[in-house]
Amino acid sequence: MKGEDSVEFSWVDLLASFGAGLFGAAIGALPAFILTGFFILIGTIAVLSGSGFDVINSGGFGPLFGPHTAFAGGVAAAAFAAQKKHMEDGKDITVALSGLDKPIVLVVGGIFGALGYIINAGLGAIVGEYTDTIALTVIISAIIARLVFGKNGLFSVSKEAEKRGRFTPGGEQVWVEYQQEWTQIITICLGASIISAWMALAIEPIAPEAANFVGFGLSAFSIIFFQFGVKIPMTHHITIIAALAATTSGSLLVGILMGILSGIVGEWMARLFLIHGDTHIDPPANAIWIMTTIVILGSMIL
């Protein structure tokens, strides 16, 4: 989910990130992420059309619509709103929080948007070559939000879950209810990985700077249908890793296998961090930074 290994700190970009977090809270974290996908697709088209303006890094992964600013701001604002009893579910990232008519909720989103920019800039300078700093920033921001605004701690487990087993979803403690059985997960991963890895390898000779992000952009933008109630799968953590692995190795098969593994990791992260908590810690972002690290380190070793 990164276009550049490091971010040069800018006060102007910091202010833009505050605005992005506030805007992300106003329209809702998930709608903000859908816009990320939209700008990634626009950026890809721009690159393929010969444009010299980098829409992918300036828009989709930049201060304005980067997941570490707009999405992360919306996540934190929802957690804060639930703590203050302005909404019931702090994990609900589909809600446009402007509808609460509580300006302080939006300001919290702005603060976390700015915080996301700072964290990503720091991570980029330290570990930018080895992982996806934007995805890792999303997770760090969400953990901070849970520790500050949540009520049940980082790894809380209900009595119901203790009886069922921590890593066995059930009842309301699920991520995507139609995407949690392992055969279903692997089947979805297979299709998404094939498409994304193939597109990445096809585009790489023409536009290498866009090749790894085409599948991700499609996956992220497709969530607009989920927002409207259609039961589509969450695949952006699958497609981005499939593309990265394919272009790094030059192998379609490696891309497919790593994409499938990323989908499995995403579900495990949902069961570890999300389904038992009272705030949102994003399973795809967790899978992306973990799997990006594995792919990059694996390419260095091999």
The per-residue pLDDT for range 64-119, each reduced to its tens digit, is 999 999 999 999 999 999 999 999 999 999 999 999 999 999 999 999 999 999 99
User: Is residue 232 a part of any domain in this protein?
Assistant: yes
For residue 52 the two structure tokens come to: 């010299």
User: Is residue 132 a part of any domain in this protein?
Assistant: yes
How confident is the model over 33-45, as pLDDT tens digits? 999 999 999 999 9
H/E stretch holding 73: helix 72-83
Residue 199, pLDDT score: 97
Q: What is the DSSP secondary-structure string of 116-174?
A: HHHHHHHHHHHHTTTS-HHHHHHHHHHHHHHHHH-SS-TT---HHHHHH-TTS-BTTB-
User: Is residue 3 a part of any domain in this protein?
Assistant: no
User: Is residue 251 a part of any domain in this protein?
Assistant: yes
- Helix, strand, coil tally for the chain in percent (to 5): 70, 0, 30
User: Is residue 4 a part of any domain in this protein?
Assistant: no
Instruction: Give me the domain span that covers residue 81.
Output: 11-301
> Rounded to two decimals, what is the model's pTM?
0.94
Closest by CA to 288, choosing from 253, 255, 256, 263, is: 263
Alpha-carbon torsion angle 229, 105, 285, 153, nearest 10: -110
Residues 6 or more apart in contact with residue 50 via CB below 8 angstroms: none
Sign of CA dihedral 244, 249, 251, 255: negative
User: Is residue 184 a part of any domain in this protein?
Assistant: yes
C-alpha span between 215 and 108 (Å, rounded)? 32
What are the residues facing 173 on neighbouring strands? 170
Sign of CA dihedral 198, 204, 207, 210: positive
How confident is the model over 232-258, as pLDDT tens digits? 999 999 999 999 999 999 999 999 999
Residue 4 confidence (pLDDT) above 70: no
User: Is residue 1 a part of any domain in this protein?
Assistant: no
Domains identified in the chain, total number:
1
User: Is residue 5 a part of any domain in this protein?
Assistant: no
Q: Give the percent of the chain with pLDDT over 70.
A: 97
Band (165; pLDDT cuts 50, 70, 90): confident
Band (183; pLDDT cuts 50, 70, 90): very high
